Amino acid sequence: MLMNHRVDIVVGTRISLAHRIEQMGYAESIEVLSPALDVNSKGYLVFSKKSSAKHLLPELDRVLREMKSDGNYQAIMRRYDLL
């Protein structure tokens, strides 16, 4: 949508956008704003009510809680400069 001039800006995490821009072959065509926006808010993962993956929510919740309690979640966030 950005490259088709349907939007003027795309907002996302630095790591996910950099990967997607590279994947689509637009690395030389897109200007990344600097400094990046600093948004200190929680992220949310959502599933459609019609999703066939709804049954995975309890397991996802359990694993995320476990990762947060053993420090793995924080380590991943630090690794990608998201903390």
Same domain membership, residue 10 and residue 25:
yes
Same domain membership, residue 29 and residue 53:
no
Are residues 74 and 64 in contact, defined by beta-carbon separation less than 8 angstroms? no
* Residue 27 lies in domain: 1-40
Overall average pLDDT of the 30-47 stretch: 70
Instruction: Considering only residues 36 and 21, tell me which one the structure prediction assigns the higher pLDDT.
Output: 21
Instruction: Considering only residues 37 and 81, tell me which one the structure prediction assigns the higher pLDDT.
Output: 81
Same domain membership, residue 30 and residue 66:
no
Same domain membership, residue 36 and residue 46:
no
Residue 1 has pLDDT above 70, yes or no: no
- Is the whole-model pTM more than 0.85? no
- Our count of domains for the chain comes to 2
Instruction: Considering only residues 3 and 67, tell me which one the structure prediction assigns the higher pLDDT.
Output: 67
- Give the model's pLDDT for residue 36: 65
